Amino acid sequence: MGVGHAGLVQLCRFLNMKPLTHTSYSKHTHAICEGIKVVVTRMLDDAATIVRRVYRDIDSSIGHDDTITLTVSYDGSWMTRGHKSQYGIGCISEVITGLVIDLQHPTLRQVHCSLQGMVCDARARVQPELRGASGGMEVKAAQLLSTRSTDRYFRYTTIHSDGDARTFTRLTNSRVYGDVKLQNEEWVNHVAKCLNTALRKLASSGKKAGVTLGGHGFGKLTGGK
């Protein structure tokens, strides 16, 4: 549901049901979280194995323990829109296979669990995991993902992104791969969106000025979809 124990209590109240106690809810949440971690780790390992096999099929000179240079796509998504989200996720996808090979879940808040380190309760302390503004989570996640890529024998040297220059600038300045230079390539759909926005603004300004751009017949520029 994504609304926590308080939301579950509210739902049970509407359904005339007895809700789980906070301790039981936390135990179940912890068990689900641990199960998800196991599944995600297995899936990412399988994806990395497939990517390595594909690149070795392309270039037979690549050894089992050689670090492979990849072209990847990176983007982030957040729990809420705007610049106030506390939680997000950053994903790295390899472009040939389209597989997600690594991900990072940055947060500005992290709950430290009490009760023998297993169950989170209302008394748990909260402290920041990443410092700074919400907008910096995507940049920080990209840096963490790139830094640990060598542990998987990969290097993300060409990055397809949505045009956010801060991410590429941070990776370049931090020299995650030493003297190896990075390349940034924008997505075609991002360029198309920028062009679409510019044309719509042009059509809107022309309409206000009483000017029809592109003539009055087929091919004229309008603000319609």
Q: So what's the pLDDT on residue 218?
A: 61
Max intra-chain CA distance, the chain: 74
Sign of the torsion formed by the C-alpha atoms of 59, 64, 67 and 68: positive
Q: So what's the pLDDT on residue 31?
A: 92
Q: So what's the pLDDT on residue 123?
A: 39
Model confidence pLDDT, tens digit, residues 20-35: 888 998 899 889 989 9
Q: So what's the pLDDT on residue 197?
A: 78
Q: So what's the pLDDT on residue 114?
A: 44
206 touches 188 (CB < 8 A): no
Q: What is the rounded CA–CA span in Å between residue 146 and residue 148?
A: 6
User: Domain residue spans in the chain?
Assistant: 4-208
Sign of the torsion formed by the C-alpha atoms of 28, 144, 109 and 115: positive
Q: So what's the pLDDT on residue 115?
A: 42
Q: What is the rounded CA–CA span in Å between residue 46 and residue 28?
A: 27
Question: Which residue ranges in the chain fall short of pLDDT 70?
Answer: 1-2, 81-83, 108-135, 162-165, 187-191, 211-225
Q: So what's the pLDDT on residue 42?
A: 96
Q: What is the rounded CA–CA span in Å between residue 80 and residue 184?
A: 27
Q: So what's the pLDDT on residue 117?
A: 45
Conformation bin of residue 158: beta by default, left when phi > 0, alpha when psi is -120 to 50:
beta
204 touches 194 (CB < 8 A): no
**What's the burial of 138, exposed, middle or buried (CB within 10 Å: 0-12/13-18/19+)?**
buried
